[in-house]
Structure formats: C-alpha cells, structure tokens
Structure 1
C-alpha cells in the first residue's frame, strides 16, 4: 500500500492539471500574442534597426560611388590613350607595310597603288554617309598598300578631325607636309585648326605658306589681314590688304579695309589715296565723309 500511494498521488495531480487545461483552452485560443506589449516593443525595435541599416547602406553606397568617380574617370582616360596608341601603331604599321611593298616588283607596286586608290574612293563614300569608323579602317588599309598615298592621309586626317581626335588629325596633316611641303590644301587645314584653337600666330604662318604656294588668290591675303587686324598688328595687316588690292584693285571692301588701317596707324597719305580710289569706284559711298573727317584729325 505504501508503494502504490505515490503513484496514486501522481495520477491525481495529472488529472487536476488536465482538467485545468481543458477549462482554460478556449481562452488560450483567443489570446492575441501580437497585442502583448513585449512583442510590440520588440517588433518596433526590429523596424527601427532595419530602417537604420537601410539608411546606412544607402549612405555607404553613395560614399563608395563618389570615391570611385576618380577611378572611373581614370579608366576612361586610359581607354582613350589606348585608342590613340592603337591608332599610332596602325599608322606606323601602314607605313612599314607600304615601304615593304615599295621594295617589290614594279608590277606589284602598281597593283598596290591601284588597290590603295580604290580603298580611298570607297572610304570617301563612307565619309559622305558619316560612317567614319569604316572610313578610317579603309584609309589605313589604303596606306598599308601605298604609304605615300596623300589622299589616304588627307582622308584619314579628316576622319580624325570629324571624330574629335584633333591632335591625331594635326599630326597626320603635318606628316603629309613631310611627304610634300608644297601641299597648299594641307597648309590651309593646319591654319584653320590653329585658328580654331586660338593660336593666331600659328594660323597666320600656315596661311602665309599657302599664299607663297598660291599668290594669286586675294582671299588668302584678306584672311591674313583679318587675323592680324584682330590682334592689332596693324602695320603687317596693311601689307596683307595691299597685296589683296594688287590682285583686285577695285574691290570696295578691300579699299575700305585699306583706308581704315591706314588711319589707325596714322598713314594720312595712304588713307587719302584710298579715299580717292573709293570715290572713283563709288562716289555715293556713305563712308567717304566719315573717313575724310577722321583723316583731317590726323
């Protein structure tokens, strides 16, 4: 009996517990865990931590992007330098291949020259369609066939210029002058590029070379006059406009510039001469009276 008694007590206790659970079970089912203050506080804390983490992550991303900007720009610069390097290698390869072709037979040379001319013609059509990348490849191929094809170099320089590679264009034009220093068109192109860059002295020198090669074009002298007048080198500008007047002595615009510059440098004799010539061409010229008054003040 003494041995059985503990088991009886345990059984009674379990029975009491079961009865309590059965009575309270419906209430337990209705209990809203989410409404407990502890649970709500914990979830609010999780939301705050999550938002803070997102904010810090966004800040770190922005900071990282800003720190990488110089590296990204440097990478772009390296890519540009590499492209220029490849261009120089291709030009050098084209010239070397052309030299090897030169050492071959005359028949082979003529064949390569013909091939080069055809490529230049094809490239010109690509340029007309603004397909500069294809044109560049064909001009380089033309130079591989004939390293002395000036038209190929001119086309290549033009393509570089159109693609914004002005330094490469300038180098190519200068190389053309090594092949033929008497190429008027190339001197003019270099003059135009120097003028765009604001290097007026360089532009004047290039235009002067073009004038030496072709002294019968008055517009070349007028171009030089305009540039020199713009930088207030009036005496040299006067010489340029005088050269233009020798070619077109009755051009009213040239005479107008001649009188204006003569007055500026105080050459009353030349200014009066210019007025007489203007009056003979057009007695109704409205500037005659103004010029006359300015000359009287000299």
Structure 2
C-alpha cells in the first residue's frame, strides 16, 4: 500500500516536471523565423527544419526529465528494497524467537533426550543447540559438558572437544578446593586443577574417565605424546584399571619409551595375567631391544 502511494507521487512529480520544461520551451518555438528561409525552398523543407528543431528540444526535455526522475527512481527503488529487507529480517527474527521459545519451554530431561537422539542420528548441530541450552540454565551440568565433548569429537573438532574436557576437569576440581571460586576457572591453568585433584586422598573415578576421554581425543588428533600423558594421569587415579595400563603400553611403544612400556607391561601382567594383549605387547617390546 505504501509503495503504491509513493509510486503515484513519483509519477505526478515527473508529469509536473515535464510540463514545466515544455512550457519554458514554448517561446523558443514561437520565435522560430520561418521567413528567414529562402522562398525558393519548398514548404516541406520548412516543416523538416521545424521538426528537427522540435526533436532536439524534445531530446533535451527527455534528458532533463531523466536526470530529474533518476534520483527519485533510485530513492523509491532503494526504499522498496529496504522495506523488503526489513520484512525478511522481521520474519527471520520472529521465526528465531519462536524456535527459541520452543526450546526454552522444554525441561532439562527433554533436552537431554533430544540431544542424545540427535547424536544417535548424527544431527550434531541440533544436539549442540540442545546441550548449550542446558548449560545456559546450569553451568555446572557435567553430563551436558560430556555430551558436548562427544558432539565435537564426532564432528572432528578436536580442539573444541579437548577444551570441553579440560574445563570438565577444572569444574570437577572444585569439590577438592572448597574456597576456589567458579568464576576463576576459565583463567586458571589446567595444571593447577590437576595438582589439587592428585593431592586429594579420595578422587572421584569420573576424573579418570575425563582423562580417558581427553586421551582418546588427542589420539584421534594424531598427538600420541599428549594422549600418553592423559592415560598416565588416569592410571594415577585408578592404578589397577587394565584399560589405562593397556593404553600406556601401546602409546609408550609408539613414542619410543620402552622403559615405561616394560614397567607398565609388568604391572598389567600382575593384575590381569589373562589379558589377551599381553603376548602382543611382549613381541612388540622384544623388537625394541
């Protein structure tokens, strides 16, 4: 409706400008001296001259009219595009707000179920969206962080996945440092959190599991030395866990640390003599001699 009114106004202005220019040119047409043309010429020649002069004046009028209308045309054209862009923007904003409202109306349990479903179906961006909404409501939700780390790992965003697990370790360290504010966690070095955890008499097995996850991420990212460091820390928390000992032996051989590999091999043989990989490790160690 507004665009129609503006277009009508532009047309009216154009007509008025055209009329004004023609009115100003009328005296020039009146003073055209036809008598100055030699009488021996035919009257058709006079008409031709008059026609040519009128065409020149018409062209001038057309050019001036075009120059006058062009800014108006561009202005109204730009206005139309701006109105269209604004409508599109409002539509997107409404849609986004509607979606956000839909997400926020769900419970934490519903969001977890939704995130796990999306992970199973490899819809990782949708899973990430649900998990971030959970963390927006509860910044200490360990389960949400773990699942988010999985999402990034599946997406092969290993740096992001590693950062999530490191933050989990820092977050978990709070229960061993009662006076440490959560607000300082992001600025804190991982080593400080690890020191507090390792010095604790009773460490939750969740922490060793976080190191296991971090070790897997580093391994996928082609960083065996960092992966080995994670499994050594996991084993320090759970020294009799055969999975961690198994990983340490394999990684120690890979990074060419036969001393650590042999020591860990003996430990694994003591606590789990039926381990199927013992013979494989033994042969690998003999090749290192």
Per the normalisation by structure 2, the TM-score is 0.47
